[in-house]
Amino acid sequence: MEKQTLSQFLLDEQRLRGIHDDEFVLLLNDIATACKSISRAVCKGALNGVMGSLECENIQGETQKQLDVITNDIFIEVNQVAGYYAGMASEEMDAPYEIPVNLRKSGKYLLLFDPLDGSSNVNVNISVGTIFSILRCPEGVENPKVKDYLQSGITQVCSGYALYGSSTMLVITAGFGVNGFTLDNDVGEFYLTHLNMRVPEDTHEFAINMSNQKSWEAPVKNYIEDCLKGTDGPRGKQFNMRWVASMVAEVHRILIRGGIFMYPVDSKLKDKGGKLRLMYEANPMSFIIEQAGGLSSSGRQRIVNIKPSGLHQRVPVIMGSKNEVEMMCSYY
């Protein structure tokens, strides 16, 4: 069977569902082009001498890496040209990016993104990624403000991520399941390699930053303690722990073989609301996980139902295999 490119797959999906939106196909092709460029930038980071940190912090209060800025610029430059977006917002920027008037055209979408998730892993050559979320721009809005971006995750038109690992992959959902595409570097095309990805309902793996254990809320402490008791404990099975410190890598593993990923609120993060950003990380990844049959929760509510209060709002995150997420949330 002939390999199917990203464009071919998207056009076939539209025909199958009676949808005719060439602009949406071209829009996703631009995102794919940006991810190819970022993949090259990450691979050549050491050769180009851009692996270090800058003497500045982003809006999140995190020290920016040189590649954070480079990949942010790539994503903006590639995706602004065709005029599909009315505006963009990035984890790396304080305010939304205003697309130049001569490029804005009649963009009907908003693009939110984390250009280099897990950038602290770059120097040690561990997988990193890009996360994106596409929203509809409110009707009649030509120059969107912050309030126009503050839409619940349930309204997302599309979300996805690129994984820069042993191969470069693009995983996307537009509300009709989750599909994965692998970059063939010889021809520069993404080909469909993972059709209709599904998260196994059960798991024996959890991913959490154990160094924060003493600061967790009681429900999280109790859940992890029960998992660590293994076959002799109340769960009656042996668990393995994984931790990559890159949300893209964690979620990708869950899509492939199941698991539960947690970044709960703790006493150190309580005033901030959590660690992960709702608009750039939690919402797009929740959309993907739910479309693949998993669940995503803050522990107290479904993440995609949260009404955003700010562009850089943080939330607790618990996502992955359906039965395990339900079990973890029952501890609340």
Q: Over 70: is that where the pLDDT of 62 sits?
A: no
Residue 188: exposure state from Cβ atoms within 10 A (0-12, 13-18, ≥19): exposed
Task: Compute how many other C-beta atoms are within 10 angstroms of the C-beta atom of residue 44.
Answer: 11
**What residue ranges define each of the domains in the chain, with the CATH number in brackets?**
6-194 (3.30.540.10), 205-330 (3.40.190.80)
Please enumerate, by residue number, every residue annotated as part of a binding site for substrate. 117-120, 209, 275
Instruction: Write the pLDDT tens digit of every residue in 224-271.
Output: 999 999 999 999 999 999 999 999 999 999 999 999 999 999 999 999
Q: How far apart are CA 126 and CA 72, in angstroms?
A: 19
Helices (H), ranges, the chain: 6-16, 22-43, 66-80, 101-104, 146-149, 218-228, 247-257, 283-291, 322-330
Instruction: Write the pLDDT tens digit of every residue in 155-194.
Output: 999 999 999 999 999 999 999 999 999 999 999 999 999 9
Q: Over 70: is that where the pLDDT of 56 sits?
A: no
Q: Nearest 5°: CA angle at 277, between 131 and 97? A: 65
Q: How high is the pLDDT of residue 59? A: 57
Q: Nearest 5°: CA angle at 311, between 305 and 316? A: 50
Report the range of poorest mean pLDDT among 22-26, 135-139, 194-198.
Answer: 22-26
Please enumerate, by residue number, every residue annotated as part of a binding site for Mg(2+). 91, 114, 116-117, 281
If we measure between CA atoms, which residue out of 163, 177, 159 comes closest to residue 280? 159
Please enumerate, by residue number, every residue annotated as part of a binding site. 91, 114, 116-120, 209, 275, 281
